[in-house]
Each structure stands twice: as C-alpha cells, then as structure tokens.
Amino acid sequence: MVVLTLTFVSAIVVDTNYVTIYPGESGKVTLNIENNGNFDIEDVSVALDLSDLPFTSVGSSEKDLDNLYEDDDDSASFTLRASTDITPGDYSIPYLIKYTNQDTSEIENKTGTFGLRVSAKTDLDFVAETVGNAISGKEGEISLEIINKGLGEIKSVSVQIFPQGFELLSKDKIFVGTIDADDYDTAAFDVIYRTANPTFSARIDYKDFDNNDQTETVTLPLKVYTQEQALSLGIIQNPSYTIYIVIGVLVIAFFIYRRIRKKRKKNRG
C-alpha cells in the first residue's frame, strides 16, 4: 500500500508561473497540472490557502478541472490581490489538489506551494539647498536630500554632482548607501559660489528593491546672493560699518572710564 500511494502522489506534476505584483494591485497566477501516471484521474479540484496571508482572491480561490487522463494536463488560473499595506518580499502560497483515482476510486490529496513576489515601486523625491549664508564669491555647502517615498528600500545609492555656477572644493561623487522606505539621507558638497542663482545638477545611481540598477538625474535651482544683496538684506555687515561701530564703542568706553576715574579721585580728596 505504501508503494502504491507514493506512485499515485508522484503522478501529479504541478508547475506554476512566477509572478510579481505590487501592493494594492493584482496579478494572475496559473497552475499547470499534469497527470504523468499510468492511470486516469477525475474530480480534480485546486484550492489556494490564503489564510494568514496578506492576499485576497479576485473571484473564487478554488477551481474544478476536467478529468485528467493518462499523460493529460490542464491548468487553473487565479487572480490574487495584495493588500495595500503589505510588506514587499517573497511569499509562498500553499495549494491543495484533490482528485480521484479511477482505478481505485480513492480520493487523494497533493499539497505544495508556489512563489509570488511583492515588489515595491520606487518613488524618490529630491531637495537641494544651500547651508548657511550662500554669497557669491564665498565658500559654502550644498546638500542634496534624497527622500524615499516608496515602500521598499533602495541600495548602493551614490550621487555625482556636475557644477554649474559654483566650484567644487570636495570630491564630486559621494556614496550614500541604503535608504529605507519612508526615510531619507543627504549628500553634502563643499563649494565656492561663482555666480548668483547657480544650478544644482546631479546623477543619482542606485539599486531598486528588485536589485536592478537605476539612474535618475536632477536639476534644481539654488538661491545665492550677491554681495550687494547680502548687505542690503542684512545677511552680512559692511566691513567699514563694522569698524565704525567698534571705534564708537571704544570711544564711549574711554569716556566712561575717565568719568569713573575722576569720580574716584574726588572721593579720595
């Protein structure tokens, strides 16, 4: 009996197509079922076990097939929808196949799993800004903020900058690394501003959730003030004006000192 049971179970061969879907979206998976035994089977049904999994079946999760004669095959297709808050990754979907051996009239089961991947669409945003006072002719710092708004991490992130209106004091390429979902990281560059309102242009290379190489380019405006604008807005002080203030403070301090000194002499007398 043991030998017969093992032979019967091995008569069913299941092959599935590997599909990739995204959170909140649907994908179609097909199970190809072949009877490679030396007997016929009937009352074939295929059911998916989606309990405790973040998937729902669009339509029934169980399908009935025609009788499968020796060396015959058939297929069952299911449409699965991933939940909107599913964690991207690889999932195993269990299935159960029931059938009846026409020779013995016994009902047998075959269980197994097939793989399904939930991927994450890349959704990046970029913000370039100057750090501190950005004045033409002066040294400063430019930072690029890389925001990962997608559901999956991105890896091996690097930023290469192409100066336009400023001169680099640091290296032109920075390795950032991994940025998790719903997180951000920054790349900072030391520069000398050569013109007012330069342009930040950079290339961002990274690997997406599926480990595929991706490249994005950004061109963003920067706000840099001329010396005249910085003076008029009070961002910086006129050097000569500062000297006058210092001299004025020293003069006032001198007269206060003389007054205190005279007062002390008078009290002693």
Which of 1-5, 25-29, 98-102, 253-257 has the largest mean confidence?
25-29
Order of strands across the sheet with 166-168?
A: 124-131, 139-148, 183-193, 166-168
Reading the block at residue 240, the tokens are 């000569």
Architecture of domain 2-118: Sandwich (2.60)
Residues 6+ apart with CB under 8 A from 13: 33, 34, 36
How confident is the model over 61-93, as pLDDT tens digits? 999 988 888 888 899 999 999 999 999 999 999
Three-state DSSP state, 248: helix
Superfamily covering domain 124-231: Immunoglobulins (2.60.40.10)
Q: In the prediction, which pLDDT does 26 show?
A: 94
- Is this model's pTM higher than 0.75 or not? no
Stretch(es) of the chain classified as CATH 2.60.40.10: 2-118, 124-231
